[in-house]
Amino acid sequence: MLTFDYKCSQCDAKYEITPELMLCPECELEQKRGQPLKGVLEVELKGTPISNDPLDYLPVEREYFPDMPVGNTPLWHPEKLLQKHDFPELYFKDDGLNPTGSLKDRASLLVAAFARKNGIDEVVVASTGNAGSSMAGVGAAAGLKVKLFLPKSAPQAKLIQSLQYGADLVLAEKNYDQAFALSLQYSKKFGGMNRNTAYNPMTIEGKKTVSIEIFNQLDRVPDHIFVSVGDGVILSGLYKGFRDLLQFKKIPKMPEIHGIQALGSSAISRAMSSGEFQEQHAETVADSISVNMPSNGYLALKNLKAYSGHCVTLTDEEILSSQKELSSSCGLFSEPAAAAAYAGFLKQKKILDPNSTCVVLLTGNGLKDINSALKNIVIPSKTINSLDELN
């Protein structure tokens, strides 16, 4: 059996888990405008997990989880790519196969369970697209109302998904950072549980289930993991899952994690070298990792430094060409932000031992953003009436 508390990722203060508490009240006082969130809370586990089932590592009891098949996504081991790169232990964890098409479902599921446990019937969320469409879908399964703030530039498929699931959608005129601020004002004023990434501690905790699954599927800890990074919550969730496994002596060491960013949205990567977070007007084809200021920047940086992690930045061309290569070589179609993790592997592989176990975490499905995918392919303009017209 396990018991759970919150622990501040900055000052180590401990708190009881309650739905009102989102950030460490002490550290939150130091919050500066245009900087990552101060006082992000993590869940601390005590005791012994009763099994290796990821649900048994989470701070909400099973009975509150909506009946939705989140997680348990496949770990691909595609022959053609292993041979091409000469990396016999290369794996792809395809989280694009979650019910709403992205890894965000892992966080939404735990947030929904946490809201239900506490009798809260509305969830409020800002998103670049995937967290919102995920919360909308999981919220529908859980019988929760969802108030969603998206930037007006969000890919259409993600807007359509959210509306199909029945969310109440508000479009922010400027960008994701504006949507984030508006949603916080809304939940403070009108109530509901805010699911903003990093702000709600259950977002980091929910995403850790991917690490426990990878461990269960491989029956060992990978040497290297590649993951794309926007706000830095998936990255921190990955670290959290492996830290839990290390705490319970299920694994002997932490994996080396490679955080992949687009050059046009690379605040964490730059902070890794400079020690400071500088705001950037983010611009990249990979919309899911496009943020001006990463909300979970401090914790992401702390984890990367503590466990010898790496940061890699990529051009949009590199991201799009890796997306095409992955699709055409093994039938795995990921959205650009997800394919970026594969582009990161391609960039790093020269410094890796080819016999190491590498996992590329693919965070979202390719059909979520067809306009970006269109940039690298040509739809035939000519139509024919007879095969004589071929060529």
Ligand X SMILES: *Cc1c(COP(=O)(O)O)cnc(C)c1O
The secondary structure of residue 312, as a DSSP letter, is E
Which residue in 9, 102, 196, 290 binds ligand X (CB under 6 A)? 102
Integer CA distances (angstroms), 121 to 87, 117, 183, 297, 360, in order: 48, 10, 16, 30, 36
Q: Which is nearer to ligand X, 49 or 236 (CB)?
A: 236
> Using CB under 6 A, which of 233, 238, 293, 304 touches ligand X?
233
**Binding of residue 337 to ligand X (CB under 6 A):** yes
* Burial annotation 239-278 (CB, 10 A radius, 16+ → b, else e): bbbbbbbeeeeebeebbbbbbbbbebbbbbbbbbeeeebe
Interface residues for ligand X in 121-180 (CB under 6 A)?
130
What residues between 346 and 375 interact with ligand X by CB under 6 A? 363-364
User: Judged by CB under 6 A, does residue 37 bind ligand X?
Assistant: no
Q: Minimum distance between the CB of residue 322 and ligand X, rounded to whole angstroms?
A: 14
Give the nearest distance from C-beta 362 to ligand X in angstroms: 8
- The minimum distance between CB 349 and ligand X, in angstroms, equals 21
Q: How would you list the strands of the sheet with 14-15, edge to edge? A: 14-15, 2-8, 41-47
Contacts (Cβ under 8 Å, ≥6 apart) of 167:
132, 133, 135, 136, 139, 146, 147, 148
- Give me the least distance between CB of 130 and ligand X, in Å please: 3
Structure tokens at 383: 């139509």
User: Measured from the CB of residue 73, what is the shortest distance to ligand X in angstroms?
Assistant: 13
**Helix and strand element counts for the chain (H, E):** 14, 13
Question: Pick from 289, 339, 343, 360: which binds ligand X (CB under 6 A)?
Answer: 289
Which residue among 282, 312, 338, 343 contacts ligand X (CB under 6 A)?
338
230 lines the binding site for ligand X (CB under 6 A):
yes
Q: Of 231, 244, 256, 318, which lies in the binding site for ligand X, with binding defined by CB under 6 A?
A: 231
Q: Is 309 in the site for ligand X (CB under 6 A)?
A: no
**CB closer to ligand X out of 29 and 306:** 306
Please tell me the distance from the alpha carbon of residue 359 to that of residue 351, in angstroms, as a whole number: 15
Number of Cβ atoms within 10 Å of the Cβ of 281: 8
| Binding-residue pattern over the window 189 to 208 for ligand X, x denoting contact by CB under 6 A | --------x-----------
Q: How buried is residue 41: exposed, middle or buried, by Cβ count under 10 Å (0-12/13-18/19+)?
A: buried
For 238, the enclosing helix (H) or strand (E) is helix 233-247
Please report whether residue 228 would count as binding ligand X according to CB under 6 A: yes
Binds ligand X (CB under 6 A): choice among 10, 100, 288, 292: 288
User: 10 or 334, CB closer to ligand X?
Assistant: 334
Minimum gap (Å) between residue 234 Cβ and ligand X: 4
Nearer to ligand X (CB atom), residue 59 or residue 364: 364
Which CB sits closer to ligand X, 59 or 230? 230
| Dihedral pair phi/psi, residue 361, rounded to 5° | -90, 115
Closest CA to 96 of 75, 126, 68: 75
- What φ, ψ does residue 45 adopt, rounded to 5°? -105, 140
**Closest distance of CB 238 from ligand X, Å:** 10
Q: Is 229 in the site for ligand X (CB under 6 A)?
A: yes
H-state helical runs in 102-195: 104-117, 130-142, 156-164, 176-190
Q: What are 143's two structure tokens?
A: 């019988």
**Identity (one letter) of the amino acid at 49?**
P
Binding site for ligand X (CB under 6 A): 102, 104, 130, 197, 228-235, 288-289, 335, 337-338, 363-364
